[in-house]
Amino acid sequence: MEVGIVSYGTYFPGLGITRSEYQKALGNCGANFSEKTVADFDEDSLTMGIAAARDALFEGINPEEISFLTWASTSPPYSEKLLSGSIAEMLGLKKNLFSAEYGQSTRAGGEAFLTAVSLVKGGFGQKALVIVADAPRANVKDPIEHGLAAGSAAFILGTENPLAVVDNFVALVQENLGERFRKAGSGEIKDIGVKTFTGEAYQKLIAKAVTELLEKENLKPADYNYAVFHEIESRLPLKAGKKLGFTDEQMLPGLLYENTGDTGAASPFLSLAAVLDRAKPGEKVIVTTYGSGAGVIAFSLTVKKPANRVPVREKLASGKKYLNFIQYLRVKRYL
């Protein structure tokens, strides 16, 4: 049975800040974006996730048909409290649904997505809703904070008339110390600040997963039309992709960091949405999700029909309110 994406939705907050605001205020900026998204004072990963899910549940999809709900975020509004009941009530889903909530790393979205694929594939229900939403935080004095942004994506998975079907996947884990982490009880991510060390871990693990996926599928990089490499920062994804033999043409459509910053777990799924916005039937997509510590889930899809959604890039370009640095500190409750 072919399981695929029957609908998807995306959301970015209406606030933004430019890199030059950081430079003006701090003299430098530790992240390489031109502007990034900022969640408003009254927003969190849950409200953003609901916005994306409502976008995905557009006319024609009955929320009552959803049997599975998977949620992913490294920044849930509560460290402990089930969110599925809130989500079901906020969206009008039926209450007898299986749900799973992930968030141990930015790979959480890959975990939520593949869990949902498996459940639908298993024939235990008709449709699944996957919500990936993130707005990670760090100490504002730590350069790791500078890239952190906010966004969300949601996917309805099913077997009838999908936009894109999931072909295969590879998942890998390995011990990796000191890369992006958040101790229990802390709301702020940090790392040991050794970029070359963590950058290498990312590149190696992603390369291994993609190579295995290509072998499994008996395909070459050139057989794919689009490749999404999880944008944990600005330069690594392109570097990792190039090393594997992917071209700018395959990768640029999925690169959003320049205009979003680091959207955490949501990043590869916003990129996937940006690719689906323009993909044509028959085209193939490879997606990698990365979690520090570390693990990769890579999966591949074949596009079945055009999407006809408001494109991610159009949403990013539309009327944002830009904050100055003081306003940014206040909206993030750093002040």
Partner 1 sequence: MGAHISIPMYQRAVKQRYRLVGLKCSNCGQIIFPPKAGCKSCGALDNFTEVQLSGRGKIYSYTVIAGAGAPPEFSEEAAYRGAYPVVLVELEEGPRIIAQLTEPVPAEIKIGMPVEMVLRQIYTEEDVIRYGYKFKVLEGEK
Peptide bond before residue 201 is cis, with ω within 30 degrees of 0: no
Residue 51 in the binding site for partner 1 (CB under 8 A) = yes
**Among 20, 41, 122, 160, interactor with partner 1 by CB under 8 A:** 41
Stretch that binds partner 1, among 35-43, 129-137, 256-264, 278-286 (CB under 8 A): 35-43
Crossing angle for the helix pair 195-217 and 236-244, to the nearest 10 degrees:
40
Q: Output 4 or 49, the one with its CB closest to partner 1.
A: 49
Residue 14 in the binding site for partner 1 (CB under 8 A) = yes
Q: Output 49 or 254, the one with its CB closest to partner 1.
A: 49
The pattern of x and - marking residues 61 through 80 that bind partner 1 according to CB under 8 A reads ----------------xx--
Q: How far lies 228's CA from each of 68, 149, 280, in Å?
A: 25, 18, 16
Taking the complex as a whole, the smallest distance from the CB of residue 21 to partner 1 amounts, in Å, to 17
Stretch that binds partner 1, among 44-52, 204-212, 244-252, 278-286 (CB under 8 A): 44-52
What phi, psi does 117 have (nearest 5°)? -60, -45
Burial class (CB in 10 A: 0-12, 13-18, 19+), 215: exposed
Taking the complex as a whole, the smallest distance from the CB of residue 41 to partner 1 amounts, in Å, to 5
- How far is the C-alpha of 335 from the C-alpha of 328, rounded, in Å? 9
Taking the complex as a whole, the smallest distance from the CB of residue 10 to partner 1 amounts, in Å, to 14
Nearest to 106 by CA among 137, 75, 147: 75
* 295 token code pair: 């693990």
- Indicate the SS3 state at residue 112: helix
Residue 32 in the binding site for partner 1 (CB under 8 A) = no
Rule CB under 8 A: which residues touch partner 1?
14-15, 40-44, 46-47, 50-51, 77-78, 86, 89-92, 318-321, 330-331
